[in-house]
């Protein structure tokens, strides 16, 4: 009980600790403390450790609003994403965090939950806080965003489908090809009645569906009944994969392959096949998307499309960091591409 009370007292004291109090305790000027917290590499190792220890002991909390008023930005990099909760975003997040970990910047995330109408509001909210920069990681539309981007006083970098509007500080891939090429792969393995399942709720999924349709038309195999999607509010999940595949079988009983828009959906197809006694890959081939960790360990293992999510996150953060520091970006637009990973779920 006494320890808890003491912690509470320390927390209350920390709320009133000023930068000048920390400086007095360490025996240096407030500007030295401020610079050391923003750019730790500019002070000696011994002094840095002394400052960090004193900050922790005194409970000093930097005032980001005051920093923003005093300088060009508040030291925060905002990241706007449509799907913070989805597995596919984790790799991007780790790449962003790893790139920025040793810098003076900290990351703040905002998720729009695929609500295109909320994208401009989230960006506007970040910009009012004077961030060091912003990463827009998968905008649905740039119609309302472009005016804000043009007027922004900080750099804004993008993870996009390469068909979208931004021309600089862009990292992404061509999702049309990421739909067409796996379809061609399935065709090359002897499959003919290839289905497509997914939600289609965002521009990247829609572009992949368009790529699938283009490849099927090229092969003379296109049939609109072969494509099926979930409801607008449904999530990309294993249960949805089972449901969509069951509905697809009712519609097209002679289907012999499925291109699923996520590995979660593909797993659902695999489970439904097992429940119905459908052999994979002999009767039905399955290709997923994202190469999530479990995909290599299902039985049979899932053929899938691998996206360099970590690399995309790292490169877009590095591109933004260069822009914040006034350095050349290297490339204005980077295509990170994709790879097809053949495994046991296809011939």
CA–CA distance, 296 with 302 (Å, rounded to integer): 6
d(C-alpha 130, C-alpha 152), whole Å? 9
Which residue carries 């999940």 as its tokens? 237
Q: What is the pLDDT of residue 69?
A: 42
Question: DSSP alpha helices (H): ranges in 219-345?
Answer: 238-251, 263-276, 309-324
Model pLDDT, residue 159? 96
CA–CA separation, 262 vs 296, rounded Å? Answer: 14
What Å distances lie between residue 269 and 116, 198, 216, CA to CA? 29, 12, 21
Note down pLDDT in tens along the chain; length 347 residues. Answer: 444 444 444 444 445 777 788 888 999 887 787 777 766 667 788 887 888 788 778 877 665 544 544 456 778 999 999 877 777 788 899 999 999 998 889 999 998 876 777 889 999 999 988 899 999 998 988 999 999 999 999 999 999 999 998 989 999 999 999 999 999 999 999 999 999 998 766 889 999 999 999 999 999 999 999 999 865 545 568 999 999 999 999 999 999 999 999 999 999 999 999 999 999 999 999 999 999 999 999 999 999 999 999 999 999 999 999 999 999 878 889 999 999 999 999 99
Beta-bridged to residue 285, according to DSSP, are 257
| pLDDT score for 324 | 93
Nearest to 258 by CA among 293, 246, 309: 246
pTM of the model: 0.79
Q: How far is CA 44 from CA 41, 48, 219, in A?
A: 7, 6, 65
What are the residue ranges of helices labelled H in 114-155?
119-127, 145-151
Q: Is residue 69 packed enough to be buried (19+ CB in 10 Å), middle (13-18) or exposed (0-12)?
A: exposed
Rounded Cα–Cα distance for residues 142 and 22 (Å): 45
To which H or E segment does residue 282 belong?
A: none
Q: How far apart are CA 268 and CA 236, in angstroms?
A: 10
């Amino acid at each position: 009980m006494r320890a808890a009370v003491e912690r509470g007292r320390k927390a209350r004291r920390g709320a009133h600790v000023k930068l000048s109090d920390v400086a007095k305790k360490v025996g240096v000027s407030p500007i030295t403390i401020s610079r050391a917290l923003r750019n730790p590499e500019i002070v000696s190792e011994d002094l840095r450790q002394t400052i960090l220890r004193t900050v922790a002991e005194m409970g000093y909390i930097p005032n980001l609003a005051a920093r923003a008023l005093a300088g060009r930005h508040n030291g925060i990099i905002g990241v706007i994403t449509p799907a913070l909760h989805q597995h596919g975003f984790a790799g991007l997040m780790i790449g962003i965090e790893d790139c920025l970990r040793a810098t003076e910047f900290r990351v703040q995330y905002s998720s729009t939950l695929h609500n295109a109408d909320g994208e401009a509001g989230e960006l506007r909210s970040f910009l009012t806080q004077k961030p060091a920069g912003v990463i827009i990681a998968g905008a649905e539309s740039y119609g309302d965003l472009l005016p804000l981007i043009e007027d922004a006083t900080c750099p804004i970098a993008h993870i996009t489908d390469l068909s979208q509007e931004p021309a600089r500080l862009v990292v992404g891939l061509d999702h049309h090809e990421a739909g067409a090429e796996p379809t061609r792969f399935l065709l090359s393995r002897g499959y003919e009645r290839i289905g497509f399942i997914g939600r289609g709720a965002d521009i990247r999924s829609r572009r992949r569906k368009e790529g699938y349709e283009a490849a099927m038309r090229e092969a003379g195999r296109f049939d609109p009944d072969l494509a099926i999607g979930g409801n607008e509010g449904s999530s990309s999940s294993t249960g949805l994969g089972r449901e969509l595949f069951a509905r697809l079988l009712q519609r097209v009983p002679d289907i012999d392959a499925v291109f699923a828009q996520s590995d979660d959906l593909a797993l659902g197809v695999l489970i439904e096949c097992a429940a119905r006694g459908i052999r994979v890959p002999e009767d039905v081939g399955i290709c997923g998307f994202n190469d999530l960790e479990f995909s290599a360990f299902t039985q049979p293992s899932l053929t899938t499309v691998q996206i360099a999510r970590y690399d995309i996150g790292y490169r877009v953060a590095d591109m933004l960091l260069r822009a914040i520091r006034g350095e050349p970006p290297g490339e204005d637009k980077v295509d990170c591409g994709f790879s097809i990973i053949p495994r046991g779920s296809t011939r």
